[in-house]
Structure 1
Amino acid sequence: MMKHSMKFYLTSSFGVPEFPDFVARAMVNDVEIAYYDSNAKKTTPKHLWMKNYMSDDQWQRSTQNCRGYHQVVKAETKTFMQRLNHTGGIHVLQEMAGCEWDNETGEINGYQQYGYNGEDFISLDLKTLTWVAPKPQAVVTKHEWDRDKPRTDFWRSFIRERCPEKLKKYLMIEQISWPKRDPPSVSLLQKTPSSAVSCHATGFYPDRALMFWSKDGEEIHEGVEHGEILPNHDGTFQMTVDLNVSSVPEEDWRRYHCLFHLDGVEDIITELDETLIRTNWVKPRTLTVLIIPAVVCLVLVVMVTFGYMVYKRRKNCRPPSAPESIAELSETLNPPT
C-alpha cells in the first residue's frame, strides 16, 4: 500500500526586494515536477519524465495559466493586506492546494488553504463545503467566500476529481517513462575504525523511503543518526543512517542490521559485517610496510652524506706537501709584492 500525493504551492510576496513577487510549484509525491516565477515568466519542468511528456505547446499553455494565477493571487494579497490594515513592509501570501490518493483503498483526501505571513488565514472544509477562518481578520473573507458558490464548487471539484485524475495520469506517465529503473543499492561505509558506520542507500524513487538500524530485529534509536534524503543528478534519491559502533563489542556486530524499505521494492537488509564495510582508511600495518623501506633509504642517504663530509674535512686538514724545488720554496716564503 502506498499513498500518492499531488500538491500545488502559489506564493505571492509584497515588499521583498530582488525576489519574484509570484512563484508557483507543482509536486508529485513531494518531488517538484514544474516551476514558474514572475521574473522568468515561463513554466519549466523540474523532472526528466515530466520534460519528455509535455509538448512545447502544453508548456506554453501552462505558462499562460500561471500568468493568470499570478494576477488572481496578487489581487488576493492586496485584499488580505487591506483587511489586516497592512499598507507597507514585507508580506507573503501562500495558497496551498492538493490531493492524496491511496492506491489500495481508493480513498481520496485533499485540502485548499491560505497562509498569510506564516500563519493560517483561511481554509476550505471539504465536509461542510464552508470556509474556516482561524483569525478574526479573516471572518469577512469567510462570509464572502461562503456566498461565492462557484468558488467553492470549483475547489471541491478540483480536490476530489481533477487533482486525483492528474495525479494518476502523472504516475502512469512516470512509470512508462522510467520502466527499467535499477533497484536501489545499499552499502556500509566507514571513514576510520573509530568513526560511525554509515548505512548508505542510493538510486531509489520516490523519496518516501525508510531506513533504520535494528538490533535482534528491533529498531534502535540510541547511537543512531539519520541524515537527510538528498537528490541525485538522475532524479533518484539517496539517504544515510549512521550507527555509533564505539560501544558495540565486535562479537555483537552480527546482531545489528540496516533495513531499507521502499513500497514496491523488496526490503534490503544488510548485516553489520566488517568484511562488507567500504573505507578509504589504510591499516597501520600496511603503512608500516610502506614506511620501513623509505626509512632505510633515508638512513643510507644520511650515511653517505656524512661520510662524504668527513672525507672533505680530513682532506682540508692534511698538511701541505713539501715543495719539489728550492725555487718553489722561495716563491712560497716570499710571494711577489
Structure 2
Amino acid sequence: MKFIIFFIYVPFVYSVFFSELHSFITTYTGIHGMTAAGIPEFSAVTSLDGQQIDYYDSITMELIPKQPWMQEFASKDMWKEDTDIRQYVQLVYKNNIDVLMERFSQSHGVHTYQRRYGCVWDAKTEESHGFDEYAYDGEDFISLGVKERRYTESVLQAKPTVQKWSDNTAQLGSLKRYYDHECVYWLIYFLKLRKAGFKRRGPEVSLLQKLPSSPVKCHATGFYPSKVIITWLKNGVNHNEDVVYGDTLINEDGTFQKSAILYVPLDDWKKNQYACVVEHKTETIQTILTDDEIKSNNRTTKAYSKTLCVMGVLIVIVLVICALVQRKRKQRRKFNLVPSDSDEALYIDKGL
C-alpha cells in the first residue's frame, strides 16, 4: 500500500458502507522540509467511517473537534489528555524523521513519516480486525500483524526498529488489549455519539444538467438518516431502463447525498412527463422534469467558472507538493493511539 498526503484541506465527500461496516482510524503525519510553505511539521486526524472527527497540528497545538456532535466529548477531561499525547508524539516524530534520514543516507529534502492505525467493525456479525501500518516517504516501512502481534519490516532500514519494538513485550500486550477490545469500544462509542447528535433532516432535491444535451441528474442532499429511495417516473410509471443510480455518500457535515441520472434524448422528455421521486423517512418529494426546474451550467456560468478556477488552483498546488515528495521516491503516513476507557492513554507512540 502507498500512503498519499494532501496538505490542503478541501471539503471531501466520502463513500461509506451502509452494510453495517464501520471504520475508526487515526493518522499521524510528520513532515521534514516543508515548513517554509506554511505546512505543519506534524498533524493528526481521526476519522469515523471516513469522516474527520478531530484534527491536531503543530501550528495550532490544539486538538479541534471537526463535527458538531463532538463538542460534548471535547469538553471532557480526556480531550486534554488526548491533546497532551499528540503534543508529545509531535516531538517523537520530529526525532524519528531525523533517525530515518540518517538510516537512508539523506541530508536534505522533503520527507514524511506516518502511521495509519485503527479498526474495522461489522455491526451485523460483530467481527472486527485491526491494522497498524507505518510508512516513510510514501513507501511501506513497518506493519504489525495484529493477531500474531508481530512486526514485519518492508525495507532493510526498518530492521533495527522491528527488533526494538518486538522486544517490548509490555507494548505488545497493550496493543493486543487495544485491538481485542478498546478500538471497537471507541468506534461504537462515537457511532452512538454521532447518532445522538443528529436529528432527522429531509432532503433538498434538485434537477441538474451540464448542457441542454446532457443527461439530467436528480440530486438529493442534506438528509439524515442515510436511507433514501430515488425513482424516475415516465408518465406516472416507474422508469429504470435509462437510469444510473449513484452510491449514497456522506457530506462533510454528516448528512448524506444520493443521485439518479436519467439518460433520455431531449425530445423524449419534452414529449413525455418525467418526474423524480425521492422517498425519505421525513418526507416524499416529487419533482417534475421541466425547463424551469433544471439547474444547468448555462444559468450559473459565472459561479461555475469561479468554482472551476478555485478547484484548479488547489489541484495544481497539491500536484506540485506531491511531485516534490515523490521525487524522493517515498512518502509516509502515521496513525495514533486512542485513549483507553480507564482515562489513560493506551500507549504513547514509539521512537525508532
Do 2:28 and 2:44's aligned partners in 1 also have CA atoms closer than 8 Å?
yes
Counterpart among 160, 169, 175 of residue 140 in structure 1: 160
Aligned: 1:236 with 2:241: no
Verify the 8 A CA contact 1:124 1:130 in the aligned structure 2.
yes
- Is residue 114 of structure 1 aligned with residue 129 of structure 2? no
**Which of 41, 63, 87 is the equivalent residue of 2:61?**
41
Contact between 2:31 and 2:42, CA under 8 Å: does it hold in 1?
A: yes
Q: Is 1:274 matched up with 2:289?
A: yes
Shift of 1:39: 0.8
Q: Secondary structure at the match of 1:35?
A: strand
> 1:15 aligned to 2:15?
no
User: How far is 1:273 from its partner?
Assistant: 5.8
Distance 1:213 1:255 in 2: 7
SS of the equivalent of 1:157 reads helix
Do 1:11 and 1:23's aligned partners in 2 also have CA atoms closer than 8 Å? yes
Give the structure 1 partner of residue 220 of structure 2: 201
**Pair member with larger Rg:** 1
Shift of 1:187: 4.0
Mapping of 1:1-337 within 5 angstroms?
1-17=19-35, 18-55=38-75, 57-178=77-198, 180-190=199-209, 193-204=212-223, 231=251, 234-238=253-257, 240=259, 242-246=261-265, 249-250=268-269, 274=289, 278-279=293-294
Is the 1:183–1:203 contact (alpha carbons within 8 Å) kept by the matching residues of 2? yes
Instruction: Give the C-alpha shift of residue 227 in structure 1.
Output: 10
Indicate how the Cα distance of structure 1 residues 229 and 103 shifts in structure 2: closer, same or farther if over 3 A, else same.
Answer: closer
More helix by share: 1
After superposition, the CA RMSD in angstroms is 4.0
Q: Give the deviation of 1:99 after TM superposition.
A: 0.8
> What amino acid is the match of 2:117?
A
Task: Write the distance in 2 (CA, Å) between the matches of 1:272 and 1:9.
Answer: 43
Q: Give the aligned residue type for 2:20.
A: M
Residues 87, 193 of structure 1: CA spacing in aligned structure 2 closer, same or farther, 3 A cutoff?
Answer: closer
CA offsets 1:46-102 (integer angstroms, 9 cap, x no match): 000001333164432221121122122333323322222222211001111011111
Higher relative contact order (CA 8 A, sep 6+): 2
How far apart are the structure 2 equivalents of 1:103 and 1:62? 27
**Pair 129,279 (structure 1): closer, same or farther in 2 beyond 3 Å:** same
* CA 26–276 in structure 1, closer or farther in 2 if over 3 Å, else same: farther
Q: Could you say if the C-alpha distance between residues 275 and 40 of structure 1 is closer, same or farther in structure 2, counting changes exceeding 3 Å?
A: same
Secondary structure of residue in 2 paired with 1:167: helix
Q: Flag the 1:70–1:208 CA change in 2: closer, same or farther, 3 A.
A: farther
Contact 1:188–1:276 under 8 Å retained in 2: no
CA contact (8 A) 1:258 1:272 kept: yes
- Rounded Cα–Cα distance in structure 2 between residues aligned with 1:99 and 1:212: 36
Give 5+ residue unaligned stretches, structure 1: 282-337
Identify unmatched segments of 5+ residues in structure 2.
1-18, 297-352
Give the AA of the match of 1:60: K
CA deviation after TM superposition for structure 1 residue 128, in Å: 1.8
The 3 A distance-change label for structure 1 pair 181 and 26 is same
Count, aligned residues: 272
Displacement of 1:197 in angstroms is 0.4
In structure 2, the CA distance between the partners of 1:51 and 1:279, relative to structure 1 (3 Å rule), is same
1:286-333 CA distances to partner (integer Å, 9 max, x unpaired)?
xxxxxxxxxxxxxxxxxxxxxxxxxxxxxxxxxxxxxxxxxxxxxxxx
- Range moving further from structure 2, 126-135 or 198-207: 198-207
Deviates more, 1:26-35 or 1:63-72: 63-72
Structure 2 length-normalised TM: 0.64
TM-score calculated relative to the size of structure 1 = 0.66
Secondary structure in 2 matching 1:81: helix
Instruction: Decide whether the 8 Å contact of 2:249 with 2:256 is kept in 1.
Output: yes
3-state DSSP of counterpart to 2:117:
strand
Give the superposition deviation at 1:186: 4.4
